[in-house]
Chain A
Amino acid sequence: MEFKNRDIISINDFSKEELLYILKVVKQMELKPNSNLLKGKILATLFFEPSTRTRLSFTSSMKQLSGQVIGFSNANVTSTQKGESLWDTIKMIQQYADVIVIRHPLEGSARLAAEAASVPVVNGGDGSNQHPTQTILDMYTIQKTKGKLEGLHVGFVGDLKYGRTVHSLVMALSHFNPTFYFIAPDELQIPENYLDELFQKKIKYYKTSDLSRFSKEIDVLYVTRIQKERFPDPVEYEKFKDVYKIDEAFLQHVKKDLKIMHPLPRVGEIDKSVDSTPHAAYFEQAANGIPVRKALLALVLGKIK
């Protein structure tokens, strides 16, 4: 399977076989990392909007494999402030680096960057559209903690309308014959387009606003933050912000081997008391960002075939 020079822009660009192959390489990276694999290679991290985990884990991954990192985490210091187009910015930066990671508030920016660049481009998040490396680490976490991806009952709770991690993971898992449970107030339910796709693929799903309704069926519960920045009216946000709470009382009514995931940061949706239970998988999920990003960098740079 050839990944050299391939762009990682959207999870929808990858087949089931390709996703499984990437996950295999991630495992290999976690078990036997080769510390000199990316020696002499340069990663440019172009962060036009804030990020903690994504930027730092890409930087750390590159450095752990002996590569170097250039870039910025504040667009105010770049020529975009002078009106330079993204196209021109990328045309210039590709001369300085072997691979580019971009996070940008505009949707489709990573796709455009990939069209401009002759070096591979990895999408670190384009607005509320895609964040494929997050999705791959979510898949890896599920595979690792549940031992499989096939046939799982996966619940999504919180902001399913705007949450890009939810949308991407739904699409990615739909290759693996899942049953989905979408748990959200009507106002924040998953968009109809995704349900149309699931219907076409004959995937079973349930929609509810009641967190406890399917608690005994679910193998993996993917919790998301109600995003304050999505609500123009603060009163509306107040109405929804504490609507779901995962706490010890809730855990009395779940499967013994339920795993709880969260892309982080969390605000109040998972109580701290859950952290020490065997259900909590979210910190491990965050840690999986390193082998996932190492694997993707090594693949697109042609260092692993």
Chain B
Amino acid sequence: MAKHKKGKKRGKGSQRIKAKKVDPSVPSVEKKKELSISAIKEGTVLDHIPEDATFKVAEILHLGHHNGTVSVAANLNSKSMGKKGIIKIEGKFLTQDEVNKIAIVAPDATVNIIKNYEVKEKIKVKSPDVVDNVVKCSNPVCMTNNEQINTKFYVVKKDPLKIRCHYCERYMGKDDLEIV
């Protein structure tokens, strides 16, 4: 089982932002940023989030309303992705349903459930065929933007993302996504 503890070897992304050993060539502001996103004892770490989706993931998961510590790091260097994002949520264990909600913006994210600084479980993001009440319809005259009802979209294509509104039947792409 992978250790999720300061100073120990961990997954690519989490290691980068939690490393205690600091490179003296890195400017001091950078050092401070790195230290501010520390390891978590209990909760969830989302890694390998596409660079442009980090804040959307935070919105989808409604992390603005979470009582525990939430650390969001965007535009981190990644060998496999170029740039990526990481989110750490203290005191919240994401469920498979919650994880699936982020699939439309971060289908390849890795989700680690942390207990006592250790990775206890890895949850795979499963791209759903139907997206229920996660994003708004971009069509201003869609019924969903004019009456209080949940939105619903069908995933037509996963890459590049193309979804179709259950109500107005309009198509939307990745750039149109606005979180409910």
Name the contact of B149 in the complex, choosing from A12, A107, A112 (C-beta under 8 A).
A112
Q: CB-defined interface of B97-118 with A at 8 Å, one 1/0 digit per residue?
A: 0000000000000000000000
Contacts of B147 on A, CB cut-off 8 Å? Answer: 85-87, 106, 112
Q: In this assembly, does B139 line the interface, its C-beta being within 8 Å of a C-beta of chain A?
A: yes
- Are A130 and B141 closer than 8 Å at their CB atoms? no
Q: In this assembly, does A95 line the interface, its C-beta being within 8 Å of a C-beta of chain B?
A: no
Q: How far is the CA of A12 from the CA of B156 in the complex (A)?
A: 14
Q: In this assembly, does B170 line the interface, its C-beta being within 8 Å of a C-beta of chain A?
A: yes
Q: How far is the CA of A107 from the CA of B143 in the complex (A)?
A: 6
Choose, from B31-39, B120-128, B161-169, the stretch at the interface: B161-169
- Are A127 and B167 closer than 8 Å at their CB atoms? no
Contacts of B167 on A, CB cut-off 8 Å? Answer: 107-108, 111-112
Contacts of A85 on B, CB cut-off 8 Å? Answer: 147-148
Chain A residue with the shortest CB-CB distance to B147: A85
- Are A111 and B166 closer than 8 Å at their CB atoms? yes
Report, as a range, how many residues of chain A touch the other chain: 10 to 19
A-B residue pair count with CB separations less than 8 angstroms: 47
The answer to whether residues A86 and B143 also contact, given A108-B165, A111-B167 and a CB cut-off of 8 A, is: yes
Q: In this assembly, does A45 line the interface, its C-beta being within 8 Å of a C-beta of chain B?
A: no
Q: In this assembly, does B171 line the interface, its C-beta being within 8 Å of a C-beta of chain A?
A: yes
Q: In this assembly, does B14 line the interface, its C-beta being within 8 Å of a C-beta of chain A?
A: no
Q: How far is the CA of A61 from the CA of B146 in the complex (A)?
A: 32
Name the contact of A112 in the complex, choosing from B139, B143, B169, B171 (C-beta under 8 A).
B143
Contacts of B168 on A, CB cut-off 8 Å? Answer: 107-108, 126-127, 129
| B residues contacting the other copy or chain, number (CB 8 A) | 16
Q: In this assembly, does A178 line the interface, its C-beta being within 8 Å of a C-beta of chain B?
A: no
Name the contact of B142 in the complex, choosing from A12, A107, A130 (C-beta under 8 A).
A107
- Are A107 and B141 closer than 8 Å at their CB atoms? yes
Contacts of A129 on B, CB cut-off 8 Å? Answer: 168-170
Q: CB-defined interface of A79-94 with B at 8 Å, one 1/0 digit per residue?
A: 0000001110000000
Q: How far is the CA of A127 from the CA of B167 in the complex (A)?
A: 12
- Are B143 and A105 closer than 8 Å at their CB atoms? no
Q: In this assembly, does B44 line the interface, its C-beta being within 8 Å of a C-beta of chain A?
A: no
Q: Which residues in chain A, 68-127, are within 8 Å of chain B measured between CB atoms?
A: 85-87, 105-109, 111-112, 126-127
Q: In this assembly, does B54 line the interface, its C-beta being within 8 Å of a C-beta of chain A?
A: no
Contacts of B143 on A, CB cut-off 8 Å? Answer: 86, 106-109, 111-112, 126
Q: How far is the CA of A126 from the CA of B146 in the complex (A)?
A: 14
Contacts of B142 on A, CB cut-off 8 Å? Answer: 106-108
Of A10, A87, A108, A130, most buried by chain B (CB within 10 Å of CB) is: A108
The answer to whether residues A107 and B170 also contact, given A86-B143, A127-B141 and a CB cut-off of 8 A, is: yes
Q: CB-defined interface of B146-180 with A at 8 Å, one 1/0 digit per residue?
A: 11110000000000000001111111000000000
Subset of 13 A-B contacts with CB under 8 Å: A10-B169, A12-B169, A86-B147, A87-B149, A107-B142, A107-B169, A108-B142, A108-B144, A111-B166, A112-B143, A112-B147, A126-B143, A129-B168
Given A87-B147, A129-B170, output 9 extra A-B contacts at Cβ < 8 Å: A85-B148, A105-B141, A106-B146, A107-B141, A107-B143, A107-B167, A107-B170, A108-B165, A111-B167
Residues of A within 8 A of B (CB): 10, 12, 85-87, 105-109, 111-112, 126-127, 129-130, 193
Residues of B within 8 A of A (CB): 139, 141-144, 146-149, 165-171
